[in-house]
Structure 1
């Protein structure tokens, strides 16, 4: 049983609002590689939240989450996080199995997951833990059900809100070992506490995609894995390379510089925990900044204001933030590719910031390479807007075709070839 602790390894002096602490993960010669992952964000703790932020009742119930690993293996372990927890996270039983139809699982494929040889685990507030290794055949691209029977007092106070994946919550009781879907009556579209699946694959590595809703896959097709990191994983697999995983650590609404009551810690703050602590990560693709530019202009809301604080940013401020993240990655020997900010039909003042940031990303050579998502998605007739066929309809988030075009725009040889 192992845990991950926090240590600051970036040598630069970090400002208080851009603290990019880097957790100590497994040793460089660890055989473990992250094959699936997600990032958590706190659920606003207010008395009467709007429907989008009302957490389901998980106490004494079983949550079955569907995940799609991107790297195969014969031995796996599950990473559990109690980030943002104020009380212990109690899991009475945890199992993994090949997913069947809906909430069902394939008979004969399940394996019980233990922690220090015990079926139950209590993770302290703010803590994280890896399970014991478990013998289970993990096949890249196939769905797996991770079923966790929760403690009788357990509350859900952190999640990954936009999963683009239907998960299932049972009636009261331990249904972790049920192959049938009968007990799973409630559908949710969030991930919770299971933040990683790792496989024993010493010659393999992971590409981590991190950013905001455009990396998270907002407005992509539900249950179809049409986010751009999914499309990149398929592209890598088609190339014949079976040694590279791609994981998605985007959070919808996330900003580079500023925390949010709904959209999680600033990326500069969460980069160490969510990316650099992942076993096997050797390359990062970073796409972040459009929300920093936009949220200052969003109207304030009474009650829960997810866009608060409405902080004004400049191109220079964003560039300083990128440099902090780059320094943290390089301090760990991780390559980082900068992605240009995609068109968002911005008014002139905000568009000027986006253009200046993109020019710096393309020409500064601060990153180890550039992924030009802007060029891939923009309308040739109006470069400030998405091409119509790539627009999901809100002028900001790509359609499935747009997300596919983003994956195709990634220079595969520099990104993947450099891992060898």
Structure 2
């Protein structure tokens, strides 16, 4: 896993210079990664079929319960994933990206998921790591399982089960999974098929970062990366109604079973600033969360509303997830987008930009959103543009979401809104045709 190191020197620069410094540093570091992604679709090349973005669990004594990871030591965790690409050999990726000590997984398995925590008993397969059943993952690292013969079919859910004796609560998770996961009673229930072995539920993803397959035919992955609007906040739990989910089904209906859609959104994420609760800034996590995905050919970037808003949120005592409270300008955001574009092109990966949907912003913030959207639409900097603003706004009041597409908070779409976003993606553009 490649992490961009922090630097204190840019903090002393004026804001626009600081943003440009970040852009240049990210672009240069992207060039230093060994290997260059190729747009060619190679036979037997491994391709991601499902992924999520690891983030740190906020470490603060005043953190509320929803910002605390469940204690899982001495129990088995079972997590459900929906692959978007078929294949006959799978590797499962686990992440200890934000761990402070090694993570030891005693045993892990993969199975076809049935209802709830139940799995098909005949499908359970044990994972190995370097031919051993135990995995030891260093702090700040990730680890792939050994290749596992397994028939993966797009849309058929899989259950990843792991047993750990780790007594301390997890420090690496994906906070808002929009998918129920399950926790057993005390003991190793990795091979258990019955749901009754898993009496507790939670809605985070713990340590699990991705699955990749050797597809039946040459294939590619599309990465959707961004904030809560890509993460699917306020969509229906366990229903796969996020816009990347709907897009994956749209591709399948169009006969494009050779294309995976991977969701690397993080709720609350910002383009230019880290958060204790909402993950690394996108310019820092872009290479390892997007460009390092197996088989990635195109990245769709959806980010920006939190950069515009968080600087105006009043600081407060305890766990303040909106730190730093920095008011961001349109030129600073544009510099951030340009750093993503440079990083993608250094790896020969196409990058599509998206406009920022309306969020009932006050005039000074709305001016920033409109300036950024104007640049995204007209600059020609991206390899193409998807107009999520046009897909979601109310024609009668363009600074707000169309009411029938609004989840109720004025910022996040509902299921119908996420479907409208997926429908707004031009498939020829997504798949590499000319703009």
Same fold (TM over 0.5): yes
CA contact (8 A) 2:2 2:288 kept: no
Structure 2 residue ranges without an equivalent (≥5): 6-18
Task: Report the Cα distance in structure 1 between the residues aligned to 2:132 and 2:20, rounded to whole angstroms.
Answer: 41
Q: Which residue is equivalent to 1:164?
A: 178
Q: Which residue of 2 aligns with 1:394?
A: 409
Distance 1:55 1:204 in 2: 35
Is the partner of 2:230 in helix, strand or coil? helix
> How far 1:159 sits from its partner (Å)?
0.9
TM-score (normalised: structure 1): 0.95
Q: Name the CA shift for 1:389/1:7 in 2 (closer, same or farther; >3 Å).
A: closer
| Distance in structure 1 (CA, Å) of the matches to 2:22 and 2:375 | 24
In structure 1, the gaps of 5 or more residues are none
Could you tell me how far apart the structure 1 residues matched to 2:247 and 2:207 are? Answer: 25
Q: What's 2:427 paired with?
A: 412
Q: 1:26 to 1:75 in 2, by over 3 A?
A: farther
Q: Which runs of 4+ in 1 moved over 6 A?
A: none
DSSP 3-state at the match of 1:108 = helix
- 1:24–1:418 CA distance, 2 compared to 1 (3 A): farther
The CA distance in 2 between the partners of 1:213 and 1:92, in whole Å, is 33
Count residues in correspondence: 412
Indicate whether 1:38 and 2:52 are aligned: yes
Alpha-carbon separation, structure 1, partners of 2:78 and 2:101: 22
Q: Spell out the pairing of 1:111-126 with structure 2 (5 A cutoff).
A: 111-126=125-140
For residues 74-89 of structure 1, the aligned pairs below 5 Å read 74-89=88-103
Query: Any conservation in 2 of the 1:261–1:306 contact (CA below 8 Å)?
Result: yes
1:15 corresponds to = 21
Counterpart CA distance in 2 for 1:308 and 1:25 is 36
In structure 2, what is the equivalent of residue 107 of structure 1? 121
CA spacing shift, 1:6–1:161, aligned 2, 3 Å: closer
Q: How does 1:108-147 map to 2 (within 5 A)?
A: 108-147=122-161
**CA 1:401–1:18 in structure 2 vs 1: closer, same or farther (change >3 Å)?**
farther
Separation of aligned partners in 1, 2:168 and 2:248: 35
For residues 46 and 325 of structure 1, the distance between their equivalents in structure 2, rounded to whole angstroms, comes to 31
**Of 297, 305, 308, the match for 1:282:** 297
Partner of 1:178: 192
Output the TM-score relative to the length of structure 2. 0.91
Displacement of 1:17: 8.2
Work out whether 1:49 is the aligned partner of 2:63. Answer: yes
User: How many angstroms does 1:417 deviate by?
Assistant: 4.4
| Shift of residue 300, structure 1, vs aligned partner | 1.1
In the aligned structure 2, how far is the partner of 1:46 from the partner of 1:76? 37
Deviations 1:58-91 (A, max 9, x none): 1111110000000000100001111011000110
1:367 to 382, 399, 407: 382
Contact 1:149 1:176 in 2 (8 A): yes
Task: Check whether the contact 2:2–2:287 (CA below 8 A) recurs between aligned residues.
Answer: no
1:117-145 C-alpha deviation (Å, 9 max, x unpaired): 00101000001111110011101011110
Q: Distance in 1 between matches of 2:3 and 2:319?
A: 31
Distance across 2 between alignment mates of 1:27 and 1:370: 22
Residue 213 of structure 1: aligned partner:
228
- RMSD after superposition: 1.9
Contact 2:37 2:349 in 1 (8 A): no
Specify the alignment match of 1:241 in structure 2. 256
CA distance in 2, matches of 1:176, 1:309: 41
Q: 2: distance between equivalents of 1:40 and 1:280?
A: 19
Structure-to-structure mapping, 1:297-308, within 5 angstroms: 297-308=312-323
- Counterpart CA distance in 1 for 2:4 and 2:150 is 32
